[in-house]
Amino acid sequence: MRPLFAFHGGIHPPANKAQSTQLPVLRAPLPAKLTIPLRQHAGESAKPVVQVGDRVLKGQLIGEPEGFISSSIHAPTSGTITAVDPQAIPHPSGLPDLCITLIPDGKDEWIARQAVDYRTLPADELRHRLRMSGIVGLGGAVFPSDIKLRPLRDHPNKIIDTLIINGAECEPYITCDDMLMRERAADIVQGAEMLRFTLAAREVLIGIEDNKPEAIAAMRRAVADSGLPFEVLAVPTLYPGGSAKHLIKVLTGLEVPSGALPTDIGVQCFNVATTYSVARALAHGEPLISRIVTVTGNVHQPRNYEALLGTPLNELVALSAPLPDTARYIMGGPMMGMPLDTLALPLVKAGNCVIAASSALFPPAPPAMPCIRCARCAQVCPAELQPMDLYWFARAKDFGKAQAFSLFDCIECGACSYVCPSHIPLVQYYRFAKSEIRAREQEKIAADKARERHEYRELRIEREKQEKAERLAAKEKAALAAKPAAPATPPEDASPENSAQRKIQAALDHAQAQAAAVTPKNTVNLSPEQLAEIAKIEARRAHIRELAQSDVEHPKE
């Protein structure tokens, strides 16, 4: 038996997973309209490659990757493109982003799908296929998977020793990975072998929290059937044990150094749903066009659905029949999820769960009391930080000290807020401090650039002055020398006036070009969307500042 390791801290929130695992995964009906955002992954948004009026087939590329960290977007079904415009997407900013609207024709007609044998393809080609299949991390980070499979160019002699398949699913309520493992274990194992092959990893460890015995059994069966030497390990249920760094610690005893990547210690980690989609992409030629999503909480029938990306969340949630006292919705889990202002949003690749929230199920936090330094937060912090000190620094806006005490090692898992007996929204303070620090760094970079530009300009003016003086002196000298000779008609454009005019014109052109090239401040010439975003961010900061100012928070009665 492989020894497991423990990480510091962690919490045991009520799992609330049983409710949504009673029924098998149900394929959600084809919606009347799909809204497919072009930014469903970390990095650059995909570039639309279809136009309004185009007929597309299921699985057809409709958005291609642009830039190094980017991914592609595909039509989830066959139909007609009716719009390519900004629409609301599930994003913390709540701002619209470019989306492709697709009206399905009901035929669900596939493109020609081409399965490949991963063993015969060069690794570059494999990665390209994953990139063009839109495969991104489905555990929540939606980071393009092909990049995680790139050879370590800077360290060519570094190898990946261990590939970890993350089936921990530590957040309460979410069961989409659990159900996927129960029902489609063979595909996951096949995908794991593809990833192992591409990385040339020595071993594959599949980590699943021990509150999912059915998934563990299914995965063990699938591994045994495949004959592959993978290990399925039941890890203790402890939030946030599904955080990649913490699962790596539990399974290997290794800690990913702060600021480094798992590959730096010879480990790479993929979520089970990502692994599954890798298998679908390579062995079946299916790009990522659907995902399994848990609909749970205050609903009549909690369960998991396999839904097309772009499915309106309200149609999805309606399948589970939310109870009448449902007040709000959360995308993701109750620990790290995101509140949704509306359900008129499409399902995206990151959408693992939608929780219907009632005030009975998620009672509002009581008013915050002062910190009594009980250090329960430090006892549960999986990053081994001192949250009560970071809170103190963030509140005092002592950002330098917050950074010195490793604020950026915080993974925002929320364990500290969960246990705080004073109900201080600790994570909000850390988010505030982080965003302030980032904003200040940006400002500093901008100021440095402006200073450089200014200094360069001064230098250039000085140099031009000098050159002009030299030119004039040379000219005078030449004129003086030419005087004794017969006054021949000088060529027209050599006349002093003309030359001066030309110079003035040139200088003007130059100045205009300079002005065009150098935008004095990055906040002018912004689109209304960007302005709205700035306003929103400012409002959020103001709110957090307010939080920071009052010792005790009391919601207005």
Partner 1 sequence: MAAFFSPFISKPDNVSQIMLKVLLALIPGIALYVWYFGPAILVSIALASVTALATEALMLKLRNRPVAPFLKDNSALLTGWLLALSIPPLAPWWLIVVGTAFCIAVAKHLYGGLGNNMFNPAMIGFAVLIISFPVPMTHWLTPHGLGQVELTFIDQLEYIFLGALPPGVTLDAITMATPLDTLKTRLHLDESIKHILDMPIYGRLAGQGSEMVSWGFLAGGLYLLATRIISWHVPVAYLGALFITAGLFHLADPAHYVTPLFHWFSGAAMIGAFFILTDPVSGPTTNKGKLIFAAGAGLLTYLIRAFGGFPDGTAFATLLMNICVPLIVLYTQPRIFGRKKPAPGNGGKP
Report the interface residues with partner 1, using CB under 8 A: 7-8, 11, 13-14, 172, 245, 249, 255-260, 328, 330, 332, 334-339, 357, 362, 364-367, 369-375, 378-379, 382-386, 388-389, 392-393, 396, 398, 401, 404-406, 409, 414, 417-423, 425, 427-428, 543, 551-552, 554-555
Residue nearer to partner 1 on the CB measure, 108 or 398: 398
User: How far from 372 is each of 355, 385, 402, 431, CA to CA, in Å?
Assistant: 33, 17, 19, 22
Q: How far is the CB of 170 from partner 1 (least distance, A)?
A: 13
Cα separation, 466 vs 448, in Å, equals 27
Residue nearer to partner 1 on the CB measure, 63 or 207: 207
- Return the C-alpha torsion angle 74, 75, 81, 85, nearest 10: -50
SS3 58: strand
Q: How far is the CB of 119 from partner 1 (least distance, A)?
A: 35
- Full 3-state SS string of 68-107: CCECCEECCCCEEEEEEEEEECCCCCCCEEEEEEEEECCC
Backbone phi and psi for residue 417, each to the nearest 5 degrees, phi listed first? -65, -35
Residue nearer to partner 1 on the CB measure, 13 or 151: 13
Q: How far is the CB of 175 from partner 1 (least distance, A)?
A: 17
Burial class (CB in 10 A: 0-12, 13-18, 19+), 531: exposed
Cα separation, 255 vs 61, in Å, equals 39
Q: How far is the CB of 155 from partner 1 (least distance, A)?
A: 18
Q: How far is the CB of 389 from partner 1 (least distance, A)?
A: 7
Residue nearer to partner 1 on the CB measure, 169 or 286: 169
User: What is the helix (H) or strand (E) element at residue 393, kind and residue range?
Assistant: helix 387-395
CB 339 within 8 Å of CB 328: yes
Residue nearer to partner 1 on the CB measure, 236 or 490: 236
Residue nearer to partner 1 on the CB measure, 364 or 491: 364
| Residue whose C-alpha is closest to residue 233's, from 15, 4, 7, 17 | 4
Bridge partners for 205 per DSSP:
164, 231
CB 367 within 8 Å of CB 553: yes
> What is the total residue count of the chain?
557
> Taking the CA of residue 185 as centre, how many other CA atoms within 13 Å lie in the half-sphere pointing to its CB?
20
Cα separation, 274 vs 522, in Å, equals 38
Residue nearer to partner 1 on the CB measure, 163 or 256: 256
Residue nearer to partner 1 on the CB measure, 110 or 405: 405
Q: How far is the CB of 401 from partner 1 (least distance, A)?
A: 6
- H-assigned helices in 483-527: 496-517
Residue nearer to partner 1 on the CB measure, 34 or 238: 238
Q: How far is the CB of 269 from partner 1 (least distance, A)?
A: 14
Is it true that the peptide bond before 240 is cis, omega within 30 degrees of 0?
yes
Q: How far is the CB of 7 from partner 1 (least distance, A)?
A: 7
Residue nearer to partner 1 on the CB measure, 481 or 552: 552
> Taking the CA of residue 523 as centre, how many other CA atoms within 13 Å lie in the half-sphere pointing to its CB?
8
CB 309 within 8 Å of CB 289: yes
Q: How far is the CB of 244 from partner 1 (least distance, A)?
A: 12
Residue nearer to partner 1 on the CB measure, 497 or 557: 557
SS3 515: helix
Contacts of residue 215, defined as CB under 8 A and 6 or more positions apart, other chains included, come to 167, 177, 178, 181, 182, 185, 208
Cα separation, 226 vs 220, in Å, equals 10
Q: How far is the CB of 161 from partner 1 (least distance, A)?
A: 18
Q: How far is the CB of 418 from partner 1 (least distance, A)?
A: 5
Cα separation, 550 vs 317, in Å, equals 38
